[in-house]
Structure formats: C-alpha cells, structure tokens
Amino acid sequence: MELKQELMSVFFLLAVALQKMPNLAIINVDEIVIIR
C-alpha cells in the first residue's frame, strides 16, 4: 500500500527531526518500532 509507505516516511522524517531533542527522539523511535 503506497499510503502506508508515505506514513512510514513521515514518521521517519519526524524521528530524524526529533533527534535534535533526545528525550522526544527516544519516545518517537519506540513508537515507530511498535508501529512496525
């Protein structure tokens, strides 16, 4: 599904952007892993 791929890309970009804020980055990465 292309829609799902786009959502994954958005979450990935959010993770990269939040890497500047370690606390949020850790939470975001955990959420992405759970989604996968």
Predicted confidence at residue 22, as pLDDT, reads 62
The residue ranges of DSSP E strands in 1-36, in sequence order, are: none
**Higher local confidence (pLDDT), 5 or 18:** 5
Burial class (CB in 10 A: 0-12, 13-18, 19+), 25: middle
What is the mean pLDDT of the segment spanning 2-30? Answer: 76
Output the pTM of the full model: 0.41
